Homo-oligomer: A and B are copies of this chain.
Amino acid sequence: MPETARPDHRYGNRPTMKDVAARAGVGLKTVSRVVNGEPGVTPDTERRVQEAIDALGFRRNDSARVLRKGRTASIGLVLEDLADPFYGPLSRAVEEVARAHGALLINGSSAEDPDREQELALALCARRVDGLVVIPAGDDHRYLEPEIKAGVATVFVDRPAGKIDADVVLSDSFGGARDGVAHLIAHGHRRIGFIGDQPRIHTAAERLRGYRAAMAEADLPVHDSWVSLGSTAPDRVRTAADAILSGPEPVTAIFAGNNRVTVTVVRVLADLDRPVALVGFDDFELADLLRPGVTVVAQDAAQLGRTAAERLFHRLDGAPGNPQRIELPTRLITRGSGELPPAD
């Protein structure tokens, strides 16, 4: 065997425009024109080029194209967990908007870890995504400043950016929680528990604030043992719920801070012999089929994603102006669990 083995072409053995040009007996640029549907090519030439393309199985290398053109036609999405039923629809909505703008979506899960969020976001920037949609895990996003300055459009969703000024789209967590708790109060409850996500997460803090506001507006005291913030892992939530329900001043109702908390609380309540009212933040599938149906403060995840993505492309199209804060309303959906009377 002579050592004339073809040099390892890196992409397997992909034909390039040069190969196509050689085969068709035309210039490189002519192939480029055909591939991109640019005018100024005779039908006859075009046919020859097209034949060569088909014969070789050529496909344009967008990677190289990007280098020349400067836009990658891709955007990045950093979220917490794609497997969470709240983020699936959000991601899909972002994808649809991207698709409408001819862009692809690269997404990454931060697993609620600020370091991983940063690592992901910067990796996306290195890929030169045109824009970034971020659901913050951390509370300091100054690391994105150089990127934003360099032209990476950035929109935050669900939670505001930390320590930088940027577009943000979020649900009215404060108002939603306040309304949900007021709903329980209107049905006669005076001792209401709150179980939420970790307090460093903005939405969790806002919802707690809403809870406190509703209680204060009704002149109701809030006993420390009624409030529990922390991980949304089932075990933690279960423990918290048990504690809140069995304390010296047992609550007659619980407000759950997000969908994961809600479903765990539903499980806990199902094993209880006395009825306890429940309102949860976030709607979830089948909430209507449970007995009683679960009353929720619903936010529209898809709408959040859509709005954020549209804002992003708006910026990419050169929309000027200061960063905006867009707040979407929530909606109380009554299904039974929130209308149970207090079992005093």
- Which A residues lie at the B interface, using CB under 8 A? 10-14, 57, 59-64, 66-67, 69-72, 74, 81-85, 87-89, 91-92, 95-96, 99, 104-109, 122-128, 146-147, 149-152, 263, 266-267, 270, 284-286, 289-291, 302
Measured CB to CB, the closest approach of chain B to A270, in angstroms, equals: 6
> Does the CB pair B14–A126 fall under 8 Å?
no
Known: A70-B10, A109-B95. A62 touches B127 (CB 8 A): yes
Residue from B89, B270, B285 in contact with A285 in the complex, judged by beta carbons closer than 8 Å? B285
- Which of chain B's residues has its CB closest to A98's CB? B108
> Does the CB pair A71–B10 fall under 8 Å?
yes
Measured CB to CB, the closest approach of chain B to A100, in angstroms, equals: 13
- Which of chain B's residues has its CB closest to A12's CB? B151
List the 5 closest A-B pairs by CB distance, nearest first. A12-B151, A10-B70, A57-B146, A83-B92, A83-B89
Instruction: Report copies per complex.
Output: 2
Known: A88-B84, A89-B83. A74 touches B286 (CB 8 A): no
> Does the CB pair B11–A150 fall under 8 Å?
yes
Measured CB to CB, the closest approach of chain B to A242, in angstroms, equals: 18
> Does the CB pair B82–A88 fall under 8 Å?
yes
Measured CB to CB, the closest approach of chain B to A149, in angstroms, equals: 7
Measured CB to CB, the closest approach of chain B to A271, in angstroms, equals: 11
> Does the CB pair A82–B95 fall under 8 Å?
yes
Residue from B61, B106, B147, B151 in contact with A128 in the complex, judged by beta carbons closer than 8 Å? B61
- Within the assembled complex, what's the spacing in Å between the Cα atoms of A10 and B123? 19
In the complex, 29 of the A-B residue pairs with CB atoms within 8 angstroms, ordered by the A residue number, are: A10-B70, A10-B71, A11-B150, A12-B151, A57-B146, A57-B150, A59-B147, A59-B150, A61-B128, A62-B128, A63-B67, A63-B72, A63-B128, A74-B106, A82-B82, A82-B95, A83-B92, A84-B88, A85-B85, A87-B88, A92-B109, A95-B108, A95-B109, A105-B107, A105-B108, A106-B106, A263-B285, A284-B286, A286-B286
Chain B residues whose CB sits within 8 angstroms of the CB of A289 once the complex forms: 263, 266-267, 270, 290
Known: A70-B11, A123-B104. A88 touches B95 (CB 8 A): no
> Does the CB pair B13–A150 fall under 8 Å?
yes
Chain B residues whose CB sits within 8 angstroms of the CB of A14 once the complex forms: 150-151
Measured CB to CB, the closest approach of chain B to A64, in angstroms, equals: 5
Chain B residues whose CB sits within 8 angstroms of the CB of A107 once the complex forms: 95, 105, 107
- Within the assembled complex, what's the spacing in Å between the Cα atoms of A266 and B286? 9
- Within the assembled complex, what's the spacing in Å between the Cα atoms of A146 and B67? 24
Chain B residues whose CB sits within 8 angstroms of the CB of A72 once the complex forms: 63
> Does the CB pair B12–A126 fall under 8 Å?
no
Chain B residues whose CB sits within 8 angstroms of the CB of A60 once the complex forms: 126
Chain B residues whose CB sits within 8 angstroms of the CB of A95 once the complex forms: 82, 107-109
- Within the assembled complex, what's the spacing in Å between the Cα atoms of A290 and B294? 12
- Which of chain B's residues has its CB closest to A102's CB? B123
Measured CB to CB, the closest approach of chain B to A273, in angstroms, equals: 16
Residue from B64, B85, B125 in contact with A88 in the complex, judged by beta carbons closer than 8 Å? B85
Chain B residues whose CB sits within 8 angstroms of the CB of A85 once the complex forms: 85, 88, 285
Chain B residues whose CB sits within 8 angstroms of the CB of A10 once the complex forms: 69-71
- Within the assembled complex, what's the spacing in Å between the Cα atoms of A69 and B64? 12
